[in-house]
Amino acid sequence: MRVMLLSKAGPGLILTALSLSACGSQSDASPPLKGCTASACDPVEITTSRGTGGSSAGGGTGTNTTGVAVSVSAVEFTGTSSGTDAWSLQYVRGLNETVLIQASNTTGGVLEASDNSPITFTNVLADGSGWATVTPPKNSGFLPGMRGIPVDPGAGISVPLLRTADLDFVTTLLTTKALVVDPTKAQLVIKFEDSSGHGVSGIHVTDLGGDVLAYASSTSSSNWDINTASTDSSGRVMGINIPASGAAVLYVSVSASGLNLQGASITVTGRLPILAGFVTYAVLLVP
């Protein structure tokens, strides 16, 4: 596979693997060849592409800038759309699609590759502020996805892509104005989980700065509700239409509170990357 070296990031991004090797010469004009596997390719760095910006809601940056190798997979959810396992990374399958992948590296640049996932990238930023994006093909029915890269990503991460139909509920929410998914803003999905990977109910999240904050709700006809004050058993909440940039990754500081399974009061915090036109998916652990 030949990987293009671009001087400017395209308008779309895809969360998939973070590293590819150039098989043959690199050229701005030549598209990547389809036959190259991840193990035979290296990442290409785009020094003038989308970088990391400031914070949209506070939050600091980690200090460990040691690069790591990360395998990233583009996936979709296969489980139920409600209950404790809704939108859980325990129930996913890989996409049989060629996706565009971009990820932050340790030099402040962006790694890019286009291929079927999973793909392994090297020298990926893993200081708590690293990120990866996956942009699906046009008319695939999937929305571009984003996910933060943890300090210890292990063998790799999966980036779930939601279908456009998954966000149809937005137009049904009762608000003072007509509400639609704004492609110039970011969407943020958070799933609060216990140590077994199941959703946790009763978690309340502070305002994320978007148009509305919607909680998954088993009692709502659309399965989502803006009048609910905390998560249902699926542990999901979504910040809709959060102001974001299409040129730089921003961060949203998340603070949530509630009770854990033992009935103790807990506070959960996180710092999550967002990008205009993308749906960020994050899992926050309830201790």
Dihedral sign computed on CA atoms, order 24, 25, 27, 30:
negative
> Can you give the pLDDT at residue 11?
37
Q: Where are the beta strands (DSSP E) in 116-264?
A: 119-125, 130-135, 145-149, 156-160, 186-193, 204-205, 212-216, 224-225, 236-242, 248-259
Average pLDDT value for residue range 7-12: 37
Residue 203: pLDDT over 80: yes
Residue type, 203: I
Residue 8: pLDDT over 50: no
Residue 76: pLDDT over 90: yes
Supply the mean pLDDT for the chain.
81
Lowest mean pLDDT among 45-54, 100-109, 139-148: 45-54
Dihedral sign computed on CA atoms, order 236, 192, 275, 210:
positive
Contacts 24+ apart (CB under 8 A), 83-87: 83/199, 83/218, 83/233, 83/234, 84/198, 84/199, 84/233, 84/234, 84/235, 85/198, 85/199, 85/234, 86/199, 86/216, 86/234, 86/236, 87/160, 87/189, 87/191, 87/234, 87/236, 87/281
Residue 1: pLDDT over 90: no
Average pLDDT value for residue range 126-139: 94
* DSSP, res 81: S
Average pLDDT value for residue range 189-193: 97
> Can you give the pLDDT at residue 283?
97
> Can you give the pLDDT at residue 178?
82
Query: Per residue in 262-286, pLDDT tens?
Result: 999 999 999 999 999 999 999 999 9
Write the class of the CATH domain 164-285.
Answer: mainly beta
> Can you give the pLDDT at residue 81?
82
Query: Per residue in 41-65, pLDDT tens?
Result: 455 655 434 555 555 544 344 444 5
Candidates 124, 128, 65; CA nearest to 269 is 128
Q: How many CB atoms lie within 10 A of CB 220?
A: 18
> Can you give the pLDDT at residue 50?
54
Tell me the whole-structure pTM to 2 decimals. Answer: 0.80
> Can you give the pLDDT at residue 46?
52
CATH 2.60.40.1120 in the chain, residue ranges: 164-285
Instruction: Tokens 């943890």: give the residue.
Output: 150
Residue 69 to residues 22, 109, 122, 156, Cα–Cα distance (Å): 16, 16, 4, 8
Residue 113: pLDDT over 70: yes
